Structure 1
Amino acid sequence: MANPGEQVTDVALTEDRLIVDLADGRSISVPLAWFPRLLLATSQERENWEIAGAGFGIHWPDVDEDLSVEGLLRGAPAPQAKAKALVS
């Protein structure tokens, strides 16, 4: 069962980090490189996000990216980020 404290309250992006604030006061900060669609997005596309999945996810409609709090807490990069790392 989902913990209401793990619902997204805010999202911020820097040039190289994704920071997600949760209802229980925690902040998750992960490398933007984990999410190639966001890394390659414009600032305007990155800022156009919405809370999804009853508060437990984030959606960027302009780049068709969806992230879950569960995945962020597990430290799980996007599958395409893993594949890119293997090729590099």
Structure 2
Amino acid sequence: MSSPEPYPINEQPLKAWCDAARLHVELRDGRELVTPLWWYPRLLAATPEERENVELMLDGVHWPDIDEDLSVRGMLRGWKYPSAVEPPLAAE
């Protein structure tokens, strides 16, 4: 059994925040990951205050108020919760 590959320091999150529709994570190497909130049903259902209470980890982001953890690696690979449902497009 091989051990997991070490986590690249350039993918360490430096800052994380949510706007009304997206999660933003700024990485050490200058990239900004942006994923839709609907990918993460718990985060989508959280209050703005719960979303603002965020803790950065070596390999991801943690929201203690809703017990949610997301890895940078998962965001980079486009992983979303299996139960996540894309909202219908608004009529123009």
Alignment coverage as a number of residue pairs:
81
Matched residue, 1:64:
67
Q: Compute the displacement of 1:23 (Å).
A: 0.1
**SS of 2:83's equivalent?**
helix
Q: How large is the RMSD of aligned CA atoms in angstroms?
A: 1.1
Matched residue, 1:35:
40
1:7 aligned onto 2:25: no
State the TM-score, normalized to the length of structure 1: 0.86
Q: Deviations over 1:29-53 (max 9, x none)?
A: 010000011111000000001012x
Q: Which of structure 1's runs of 4+ aligned residues deviate more than 6 A?
A: none
If each structure's helix is expressed as a fraction of its own residues, which one has the higher value? Answer: 1
State the TM-score, normalized to the length of structure 2: 0.83
Q: Deviations over 1:5-24 (max 9, x none)?
A: 00000001011000000000
Q: Compute the displacement of 1:79 (Å).
A: 2.8
Question: Distance between the aligned counterparts of 1:3 and 1:35, measured in 2?
Answer: 24
The percentage of aligned residue pairs carrying the same residue is 49
Max radius of gyration: which structure?
A: 2
In structure 1, runs of 5+ residues without a counterpart are: none
Q: Compute the displacement of 1:57 (Å).
A: 1.2
